Amino acid sequence: MLKYAITFAIISLIAGALGFSGVAAGAAGIAKILFFLFLVVAVIFVVLAVLGVGAARRAMK
């Protein structure tokens, strides 16, 4: 997901430099959404890892 966010950010920068403001704004919006989704998923995985949810906890029993 982060890979796609970076890709859309680069597309937005290139489109903006070439004068395609509509395309640049759309790509920037998509990049923002993907980046924040990545952050939410990353935080969820970190919280789950701290809580010990998953295979490691089951293996310890």
Q: Give CA angle at 51 (45, 53), nearest 5°.
A: 70
pTM over 0.85: no
CB 51 within 8 A of CB 32: no
Which pair of tokens denotes residue 41? 């998923």
Rounded to an integer, what distance in angstroms lies between the CA atom of residue 40 and that of residue 61?
Answer: 30
* Domain extent for 22: 2-60
Q: Are 27 and 9 contacting, i.e. CB atoms less than 8 angstroms apart?
A: yes
Q: Please write the tens of the pLDDT for every residue from 21-60.
A: 898 999 999 999 999 999 999 999 888 888 876 666 666 6
Q: How many domains does the chain have?
A: 1
